[in-house]
Every structure is written in C-alpha cells, then in structure tokens.
Amino acid sequence: MPYQFDSQSHRYRDTETGRFVKVADVTKLIDQEVNRLEVRLKGHARLLAQGKIDTGEFQTRMALTLKESHLRNAAIGAGGTKQLTPTHYGKVGAQLKKQYKYLHGFGQDLADGKLTPEQAIRRAGSYAKSAKTSFFEAEFTSRGKVGFYAKRLLDAQSRHCASCISYQRLTWTLIQNVIPPGVDCECGGRCRCRLVYRSL
C-alpha cells in the first residue's frame, strides 16, 4: 500500500498526495484481510473434508494462518512491522491463546464426529473475525503510549452486547480508561463498536 505512518499524528499518509488516509480506508484494508483469512481457513476445512489432510494437520494450518493474519493486522494498527513492540506481541499472543483454545475444542468435535463437513467449513471461517481485534489492540496500545484520548462509540445500525453498551464513552477519555472493541466483550471479533482518537 502506498501509505506511510506519521508517528506524530499516529495516522497514515498517502505517499503520493501527502494527505492523511481516511479511517474508512484503513478499516477497508482490515476488512479485506479478514475476508482473505476467512477464505484460507475455509480452505483448510475443505481439505480436511476431502481427506487430503488429517485433523492434526488441519489444526496446525489453522493456528499458523490465524497467527500470520493477527500479526499483519497488528502491524497495520501499530503503524508498521517496525513499530511493533513486546507489548504489541504480548497482546497478539493473548488473543491467539484464546483462539487456540477454541481450536482445540473444534478439533475435539471433529474427532468425535459431531460436525458435518459443511458445519466444519462454516465454523473454520468464523475464526477470521478474531483478527480484527488485534488491529484494534495494536492501534490502542500505540496511541496509549503518547497520551491520546478516545471515545468509544456504538454503531447505531448494529445490535450490541451488554458489555459493549457499558464500555461506551461519549466524552473524551484518557485512552487507558477505554476498552478496545472486541476485547472483554461477548461480541469478540464481531464487535461493531469504533474508537475515535484525539491528542489533547
């Protein structure tokens, strides 16, 4: 992408025009990554259904694909791979630990014959949305280091869990006192909340 991270504003600039990249365009990049991830994860499940790989290989491929995508999204949130710190990697690791736990249960259900091939493919694809959380956490972590404030807003067109409603912040709040979307809520990677930032 022809974007360069501006460390002062913590936003991306278009290298051709010098203008700030719209938040919607960055969000579009994340959504595209999530969509590609869903295709890859479903592909692993199809190979399993066709008998081309076994359950162990399926779980290994799922775990590696999830890890790669979470790291890509975290890098976008942090401002690039070079901006990733041990804190960022720790946040990604915590998210992946949750997904690996779910993946273990997935493997058990497959081994027990509880899922049809179609159900397994759908379930594999459902893991993709979790990668969005790593973007939010990385962006949040980077801005939190330099004293940004944030509002956490609900999407008026979406249904929200009780946790998200309680996490809403309509006034500028020190970022350390705001919960990133998808974190500690029932929505997880499906969270439709958004953050707005400013430096006061």
For residue 161, give the nearest of 192, 187, 181 by alpha carbon: 187
The band of 1, judged by pLDDT with boundaries at 50, 70 and 90, is low
Q: State the pTM of this model.
A: 0.88
Contact 91, 137 (CB under 8 A): yes
Give 137-190 pLDDT, tens digit per residue.
999 899 888 888 989 988 888 889 999 999 999 999 998 898 888 888 888 778
Contacts of 33 (CB under 8 A, 6+ apart): 69, 72, 73, 76, 131
Name the phi and psi angles at 157, rounded to 5: -90, 0
Question: How many residues are recorded in the chain?
Answer: 200
- Residues 6 or more apart from 138 whose CB is under 8 A from it? 73, 74, 75, 76, 77, 78, 84, 88, 91, 92
* pLDDT tens profile 21-76: 999 999 999 999 999 999 999 999 999 999 999 999 999 999 999 999 999 999 99
Query: 126-152 pLDDT, tens per residue?
Result: 999 999 999 999 998 998 888 889 899
The maximal CA–CA distance of the chain, rounded, in angstroms, is: 57
